[in-house]
Amino acid sequence: MEPKNQNSKTYKPLPITGISLIHWIKLILRNGGIDLKYLPKALYVSAQSIKNTPLILKERVEFDKEVENVQLENSPVFIIGHCRSGTSYLHHLIGQDPNWGYITKAQVLVGGSEFFLGSPQKVENWASRVYPTPRKTDSLVLHADDPAEEEIALVNSSLSSFYEGFYFPKKIKFIFQKCVLFQGDESEKTAWKNDYKRMLSRIHLSVGGKRLLIKNPLNGGRIKLLLDLFPDAKFIHILRNPYDVYASTVKLYQIIVPEWTFQTINEAEMKENILFFYQELMNRYFLDKNLIPPENLVEIKYENFIGNEIETLSQIYQQFNLPGFAEAKPRFAHFIEEETKRHKEYKERDNRSKKKLDKETMVKLEKAWKPIIDKWNQM
């Protein structure tokens, strides 16, 4: 995907523009096609997918064998918790420590997710025309080398990513049940583990073997499978006021779905899906978290974390016996200071236009999410 000037109205830095043509056709067919109004965008993705083919093949030839032979020396650390719970802030914060490896915004979001090993300079060049940029959903300023979410990249290489549903929202509930809750047969679990291991192996190679720091809200529903892959994996779970999470998630969907989608979905259905996804994801997490050895799990309440970030990071590093906290502490402090300033300015702007949840929505959330709200209150 050769980006045009970032101010051009024709340039859309969709992650899916890094897909191969064959896989793109497969996604369209299995999700019931594309709504007519999105045909120009779909043709654009199709054209980019054709251009990407040589780059994808080049990486496969050069790196497939090496990827297959990867053995992670240290199990990953997984940051989990429903989206809009502070997972991105925590990911960016811990990522200030240079000992960590992670997939980057450049590798995920500008269409280079299938060839960042084989053509890294091209991916960096594309990203330089997009970043830095403020995130539309909050105060974070995004840079090309910031941590990103590998779930987004998985869409371009597999049938195992929840974010397939952001492109094809008519099927998003089915995709969630298939790729997060695994309500299908065992073959789907096996496929997901193979696809996910391959993705993490590619990230491992791209960061020179550093320990992986992975932020993926959907992984809260996949603890069993992650422990199958990485029995000694570490988990950091963050829980935020569920009412705030709902409001923020609705805002996220209102921004992302129109930009990414190739199908129309009404807002009422979207909100019902958010209600369902949160309830099912959190229930699955609370059901399966006991599978994690206690020493490998840290649980954080977002409201206690904000303002006490350094103390929380110290606890995480100590409990997981991780090196480098003292050396990274000044980096952490600088990042916190800068983000606190930005967040204050953003909050002042956002509060002027922020709408409170209506009474009907509050009652609906309290009824559907009561066990989770109770757990949050008890932390």
- Minimal CA–CA distance to 27: which of 150, 144, 155? 155
In a domain, 241, yes or no: yes
Burial class (CB within 10 angstroms; exposed 0-12, middle 13-18, buried 19+) of 342: middle
Q: Is the pLDDT of residue 364 over 90?
A: yes
pLDDT tens, residue by residue, 194-236: 999 999 999 999 999 999 999 999 999 999 999 999 999 999 9
- Percentage with pLDDT > 90 across the chain: 87
Average pLDDT estimate for 1-28: 72
- Minimal CA–CA distance to 229: which of 160, 173, 279, 317? 160
Q: Is the pLDDT of residue 326 over 50?
A: yes
Tell me what pLDDT residue 355 has: 66
In a domain, 363, yes or no: yes
**In this structure, are residues 11 and 3 in contact, taking their beta carbons and an 8 Å threshold?**
yes
**In this structure, are residues 25 and 50 in contact, taking their beta carbons and an 8 Å threshold?**
no
Tell me what pLDDT residue 343 has: 76
77-80 and 234-239 as β-strands: parallel, antiparallel, unpaired? Answer: parallel
Per the structure, how many domains does the chain have?
1
Tell me what pLDDT residue 352 has: 47
State whether residue 261 is helix, strand or coil: coil
Average pLDDT of every residue of the chain:
93
CA angle 86-90-95, nearest 5°? Answer: 150
Query: DSSP string of 322-335?
Result: -S-HHHHHHHHHHH
**In this structure, are residues 123 and 112 in contact, taking their beta carbons and an 8 Å threshold?**
yes
| Domain harbouring 148, CATH code | 3.40.50.300
- Minimal CA–CA distance to 72: which of 182, 180, 232? 232
Please report, as a single letter, which amino acid is at residue 194: N
**In this structure, are residues 245 and 278 in contact, taking their beta carbons and an 8 Å threshold?**
yes
Kindly indicate the confidence band of residue 345, based on its pLDDT and cuts at 50, 70 and 90. confident
81: left (phi over 0), alpha (psi -120 to 50) or beta: left
How many CA atoms within 13 Å lie on the side-chain side of 378? 7
Average pLDDT estimate for 183-193: 95
Alpha helix (H) ranges present in the chain?
21-30, 39-68, 87-94, 105-109, 120-128, 150-154, 164-167, 172-179, 186-206, 223-229, 242-260, 267-288, 302-305, 309-319, 325-353, 359-378
Higher pLDDT, 154 or 143: 154
In a domain, 7, yes or no: no
In a domain, 3, yes or no: no
Q: What domain range is 352 assigned to? A: 15-378
Kindly indicate the confidence band of residue 346, based on its pLDDT and cuts at 50, 70 and 90. low
In a domain, 190, yes or no: yes
Question: CA-CA distance, 284 to 272, in Å (whole number)?
Answer: 18
Question: CA-CA distance, 214 to 147, in Å (whole number)?
Answer: 9
In a domain, 111, yes or no: yes
In a domain, 4, yes or no: no
pTM listed for this prediction: 0.94
In a domain, 2, yes or no: no
